[in-house]
Structures are given as C-alpha cells and as structure tokens.
Structure 1
Amino acid sequence: MVKKGKEGKKVVIGMTGGVDSTVAAYLLKKQGLEPIGVTFNFYKEESSQKPGEECLGTCQSKSLVSIQEVCDKLEIPFYGVNASHLFKERVLDRVLTARLGGTAFSPCVYCNILKFDLLVEKSKKLGADFIATGHYAKVVKNIKTGKFQLISANDREQDQSYYLSALDRIHLENLLLPCADIRRSEVEQIAKSLGIHFVKKGDRNRLCFMKEKNFSFYIQKNAPPGMLNNGGIFNFEDGVPIGDHGGVHHFYIGQNKVKALDNVKIEEDARVVEIDRKTKNVYISKTKNIRYSICEVINYKQDPDTDISSPIKVFIQFSQLEKRQACFLYFKNNDTVVLKFQEEIIGLLVKGSHVAIYNGLGAGAKIIGNGTLNSFGFFDKSGKFRSLPDPEEVELEIYGQEDLKLDLSLKIPRKEKDVTF
C-alpha cells in the first residue's frame, strides 16, 4: 500500500512490456499515484527488425509499439528513450574487456545501475517524485539513521535483490517496488484480470543480457584479430588433448558448458581453469577436482552502518540462481574483504562475477555489501589443499596486530607446472 501523502504523486516506472512491470504500473495507479511509463533502448541486434521494433532492449519482450499499447491499456503516459550509446560504454564494452581478459562480468547488475541512473534522470526532467520497476525486492527506511536499505522480497523464490545489490542510496531513497510484498502467482492473477496479452519470456531469473549467439558475434566483431585464432582444449591434470576451439574469447575462468569444434563431446561437469593466451590453449578440469574455502572480494562497497571493528558472519550470493552461503567476513582495507566459508566447498567460482553480501538467508535479509570476486582458495606446491588460517590468526593479520600474509590464489597441481589464477 502507498503510504499517506504519496497519493497524486508522479512516478516514472521502467516498462518492459512484461507481466511484472505492467502489474507494477497498475498497482501504482490503483493506489493513487500517477505512473509514467518509460522504456530504454539499450541494444539493437545486427539482424533485420520488423517495423516498430526499433526499441528492443536487453530485458524487453515486446516491441516499442507493443509497450505503447500496454501503457495505453493502463491509461498512462509513455516515453521511449534511446540509451544505446550509454549501454555500449557502461555494459557492452566492459563485458568485452572482461571476456578478452579471461574473466566474467555480471552484465545484469550493471545494466540495472544504468537503468536506475536513467530513471532518476528522467524523473527529474518530468517533475516526478518517485521511480519504480517491477523487480521483486524491498526498500525499507532505517528508523534510527533515516537511510534507505535494500532487502529480500517476501517471495524468496522470485527475489531479485541480487540484481539490485549494487544500487546506491540515491536510487533507493525514492524507489517504489510494488511487487515486493506479493508473490509471483498473485502478480500473474492480476495480469490475467487486466486482459492484456503478454509474450512469454521464459525463465525470468536467467541472464537476459544477450542471446549467446549474438554475444559471440559481438565479440568476434570487436575483438582484436589475434584473439580469434583457433586453439586446443586440454585436460588440466595430465595435459591430454580433448579437442579444438574457435578462439579464447569464447572462454573465461570458471566457465561451464565448455564447447569444442567438430561436435567433440566434453563432460558436463568440466570447468575452465586456465587460459593460455600465448598458445591459445584452454585447460579444463572436472568440478569435483576443485575445492575452495576462502575467497577475496575487491571493489567492495559496504553499508556505512555496518560495524567493521571485527569479523562478522554473513551470507554471500555469487549469482541470481545460486543459493546464499554462510561465511565469515574479514575487512582488509577500504575496498577489499576476505571471506572464509564454514565448510570446504567443491567447485570453482567464476572470477570477475558480482558478489552480493546479506545479513541473513530468508525474506527480509538486508544487503550489507557488494563487490567483485577476485581470487579464492588454493593448493600448495605439494598438491595439498590449503585453507585459510584460523579466524583468530586472520583477525590478527587483517587488523594489524601481527604481520601474517594470506595466499589467496588457487593452485591446481599438474604434471608440468602449477598454475595460479
């Protein structure tokens, strides 16, 4: 429900033509506000488009004309904004740089930062008091500090707070999320009652950035020629050749679903653990062969209200689809933290991925920090897995009471050499 005093206020809402944003706009209007629909044109595919589809963006399921029709049905104003140049600069180019460097990048997180920057800008131009989207997350005001904070939605299965975890308080202070307090099943029921035809978008929590074939085409078009040379795929432990690939730009550390040329079959649990850019060779290993118990997060931004005087227990999430994991957080400096997991975990983390840090597991858990995964657990030269020192020792090192060095690289033994990444 809209709190007293907000009735009649203007709110700029990001529209995709999908169920969530449409129902969000409907709820805002029903609760007494004056929603204004806005759609951003972020990226136009190279393939030919039908008339009226010039505004197709990364998270849109409908054409500009169709979104206009949805807004007409709701009887709200609608604006289309061309932001393709900003999307290229702030998302596409960064994804390209990361992929060429052999690391991942979380496009949806940074795409959302761009969206909310544009929503704030558009709201000022239109004289609106609030911004809104159809995301499943909640914004609450801290009674003691008066500051706004992002927390998990009531519907944990549909919660999208991970995607919004990098938003600043300038985005949160005037943000309305009408779908936060209801379940997706209820949203779908409301959508049916509106009599609007929606195009099915598939799994709404999966990467909406670009279709893989279009993404590969974009990389091939913009990558340096030397990066596009074919190379070999080898088993990491013994160096046995498995197949050939069409260029190292197709791979990043931690990647699964590895594909080789000529339909050579690669086991489903294989992950990329090394990329040799000189030889253009890619090395893979089975997930079960890799373990970690620590990781380092850089570019860390924390909630100013969080007590950093001692280590704290937190819950970390590495992607929208993964479950949160319990760990201890140690502050190293202003933008770097070390995370120690309660148990050793089998698998490989994806270097460069966005990390969201919560203070709990369930609905209402607060985002207390976010950053970029830099490095994680390690093996020593003898091939024995090494875990982080005891929390007491780590605390001494991090808080300057004793000079202890933490090796945060991951080494997997191979016959020829040890490789660190």
Structure 2
Amino acid sequence: MPNINTSKKVVVGMSGGVDSSVSAYLLQQQGYHVVGLFMKNWEEDDNEEYCSAAVDLADAKAVCDKLNIELFTINFAAEYWDNVFEHFLSEYKAGRTPNPDILCNKEIKFKAFLEYAAEDLGADYIATGHYVRKRETNNKVELLRGIDNNKDQSYFLYTLSEQQLRQSLFPVGELEKPKVREIAQQLGLATAAKKDSTGICFIGERKFSDFLARYLPAQSGAIRTVDGEVIGQHQGLMYHTLGQRKGLGIGGLKQAEDTPWYVVDKDIKNNELIVAQGHNHPALFSDGLIAQQLHWVNRQVITKPFSCTVKTRYRQQDIACQVNPLSEDKIEVIFESPVAAVTPGQSAVFYQGEVCLGGGIIEQRIIRSKESFCE
C-alpha cells in the first residue's frame, strides 16, 4: 500500500540544532518529501566572537547532506528588524520586559517563513523542532503541550491560529528530549551532542546590558526600598526585571540584614527601581493581572468568565485562575493564590489540561491587598 504522505512536500526549518535535525528525519520516515530551509534573522559582524549563524548553517548543511535533503537558505533580517526587534526596543524603552521569541514565532517562523515555503518552495506543510503537538477533530485544530513537560514550548506558540497549525507539523512534540538525542546519535548526525540554544537569538553569548546599551541610552536613577529609603543607584531600568536578584549592586549594606534583595517594581515616572528583601516578600507577589493584545488559538472572542490555568513565564508551574473579559482585547485574570514576579511585557498563556487556549501580553499587575509599591 503506497504511503499517502509521499506526494506531500514539507519544508523543515533547519536551525542547525538537534530538534530540527531529528524532525527532518522523522518526516522522511513518515514518507513526506522533505526539504530544509535555513533562515538568517540577524545581521552579525562576521568578525565578532558571538557570531553563530555560520556555525549553525554549517551544521544544518551537514545534517541535510547526511539525510540526502536539499537545503535552501533565506534572509529574513529586514523582516525581523521591522516586526520583532523594533518592538523589542520600544518595549524596553517603556520599562517593560518583552519576549522576542514569541513575536519571532508569530511574525517570522509562522508567517514570513510559512509564506515563503508555500509560495516559493511549493510546500504543503512547514515543520519545526518545537516541543508541541496538535490535535485535529471535527474541523477544529487544537495546540497541545509537548509530551516532554520539561521541554514543552506551547508557551511560545500561543499566537498561532488554527490555520497556521493546519499547515505546521511538530514531529518531536511526541517525544521526550533524551529520545531525540538518542535518535540523532544513532544516525550519526552532526548535531547529536550540540547544546540547546539559550537566551535571545540576536544577543547570543553577549552580555545583555552591553548589547542593549548599543541601541538604547541608559538613564541612571535611584534604587529605593519599599519603605522609601534610597540604598543605591541603578544604571538603567531597562537592565532590570521583576523578581531579579543578581546584579543589583546593593549587597553588604551595613544597616540591612544579610538577606538577598529582589526587584519588586519599577517606578517609570520617577526612574526608580523598587526593591525588597527576601524571596517571600509580599511586594513580589500579585493577586492577578490585566492582559491585552489577546490571541486565542480558535480566534473566538471571550464573552464570559471562565476558569483555567495560566503561566506568566516559561517553565512555570500552572496556576489556577479565573479569566474575566473586560473588552474584546482585554481581560482580567485573578489567581487562586498570589504569584511572584508577574512582569508587564511578558505573556500570560492559558491552558485547559493539555490544550493551550491562547494568551496575551501582561499590561499590569493586580495587587488587591495594598497599593502599588511605587506610588
């Protein structure tokens, strides 16, 4: 019996990593006509130490040669700058902490990449090495968490629509990460032992503050405790995020207990960093949040309150919550119990069991028990 996938063409986003490498192999085994596409999203200076695009491309080529897959390359640096990086800078300038990986998936990998693959390469599907799954039932497509809970990446893909999901395949979402590495080793792929990429793709191994200073002027200001005492100077609010402990430069204060300091708020108006001592300090916690720029996978407008779970950052345990619609593009989220380090600019992503419902951008924290600590 012929394989029904034989005539279907899949363009795999080859990143030069082990996950996309094994994804390409698995799709071959399933009978698809597989080709690779390596995309460059950032223009680096080739003489800089942190330049990794050349290494990643070489690894992608080695894997495609091994699997006998044709590899194409495309430069999306202009699209990335316009649709991801400029937004990243404007958010930091406004004192928020954005997640460019989520925007990259929305604007580049599942938009520009998908359109190029379909229109220029004749793809029926695209595929990536993301650890997620999808389920199609009754003309409906759902985004599911990956089997490997430790590697699940649905948090980063909540902006995808049902149509984008229909056109996308996620082969490694059905596997645990150790199994993916085992397959790569058995095949002798060049990426088998390659470390997972970490951090923001365009920053690489550079120090974050050094990179940001190249694009945004830093303005120093006071570090103030929740009790109003000035105990130091920060070099720029943009270098700090809620819940941060290291790099504050305020250790060893004579009058303070030997307990770590944490960033609990940013006073944008007065350019002050608000800090408190101890990881359990009440000022770190929020009772809920307001989210905007909503994306629901099924693209339905929420009209009634509902209960679900939420993640306010990647790798966080699910938090039980109630979602209350405030408008078509604004919701109030009330947590079952207070949550630490809820950060404006980050994403709140909602789940019912293994299904990722969608999410939105955290606009502000809700602190019911007290006034904001920077007011």
Deviation at 1:200, TM superposition (A): 5.2
CA distance in 1, matches of 2:132, 2:8: 22
CA distance in 2, matches of 1:192, 1:297: 43
The answer to whether the 8 Å contact 1:273/1:285 transfers is no
CA distance in 1, matches of 2:329, 2:80: 26
Bigger drift between 186-195 and 263-272 goes to: 263-272
Against the structure 1 CA distance between its residues 325 and 38, is the aligned structure 2 distance closer, same or farther, given a 3 Å change threshold? same
The amino acid across from 1:245 in the alignment is H
Give 1:344's match in structure 2, choosing from 323, 330, 338: 338
- 1:138 is aligned to 133
The amino acid across from 2:324 in the alignment is Y
SS at match of 1:158: coil
- 1:378 is aligned to 367
CA distance in 2, matches of 1:91, 1:307: 25
Structure 2: 5+ residue stretches without partners: none
| 1:312-343, Cα deviation, whole Å (9 max, x unpaired) | 11110112221111111111210111111122
The amino acid across from 1:321 in the alignment is R
Query: Does structure 1 residue 74 correspond to structure 2 residue 67?
Result: yes
The answer to whether the 8 Å contact 2:286/2:365 transfers is yes
Give 1:259's match in structure 2, choosing from 247, 251, 258: 247
* 1:55-74 pair list within 5 angstroms: 55-56=53-54, 62-74=55-67
CA distance in 2, matches of 1:203, 1:65: 16
- 1:245 is aligned to 234
Under a length normalisation based on structure 2, what TM-score does the superposition of the two structures give?
0.87
Greater relative CO, 1 or 2 (CA 8 Å, sep 6+): 2
Against the structure 1 CA distance between its residues 221 and 27, is the aligned structure 2 distance closer, same or farther, given a 3 Å change threshold? same
Give 1:283's match in structure 2, choosing from 274, 280, 290: 274
The amino acid across from 1:116 in the alignment is F
The answer to whether the 8 Å contact 1:102/1:251 transfers is no
- 1:162 is aligned to 155
| 1:383-406, Cα deviation, whole Å (9 max, x unpaired) | xx16xxxxxxxxxxxxxxxxxxxx
The amino acid across from 1:190 in the alignment is I
CA distance in 2, matches of 1:221, 1:293: 36
The answer to whether the 8 Å contact 2:263/2:275 transfers is yes
- 1:411 is aligned to 372
Give 1:115's match in structure 2, choosing from 109, 118, 123: 109
Number of residue pairs matched?
A: 364
* 1:227-376 pair list within 5 angstroms: 227-241=217-231, 243-252=232-241, 254-260=242-248, 268=260, 270-276=262-268, 278=270, 280-286=271-277, 287=279, 288-290=281-283, 291-304=285-298, 308=302, 310-345=304-339, 347-360=340-353, 365-376=354-365
The answer to whether the 8 Å contact 2:21/2:191 transfers is no
| 1:81-123, Cα deviation, whole Å (9 max, x unpaired) | 1111111122211111111111110111111121121221222
SS at match of 1:180: helix
The answer to whether the 8 Å contact 2:321/2:336 transfers is yes
CA distance in 2, matches of 1:212, 1:289: 34
SS at match of 2:150: helix
CA distance in 1, matches of 2:74, 2:259: 44
The answer to whether the 8 Å contact 1:99/1:251 transfers is no
Against the structure 1 CA distance between its residues 104 and 120, is the aligned structure 2 distance closer, same or farther, given a 3 Å change threshold? same
CA distance in 2, matches of 1:38, 1:180: 20
Structural RMSD (CA): 2.8
Against the structure 1 CA distance between its residues 236 and 6, is the aligned structure 2 distance closer, same or farther, given a 3 Å change threshold? same
CA distance in 2, matches of 1:248, 1:355: 22
Against the structure 1 CA distance between its residues 259 and 305, is the aligned structure 2 distance closer, same or farther, given a 3 Å change threshold? closer
Against the structure 1 CA distance between its residues 65 and 202, is the aligned structure 2 distance closer, same or farther, given a 3 Å change threshold? closer
The amino acid across from 1:259 in the alignment is G
Provide the identity percentage.
24
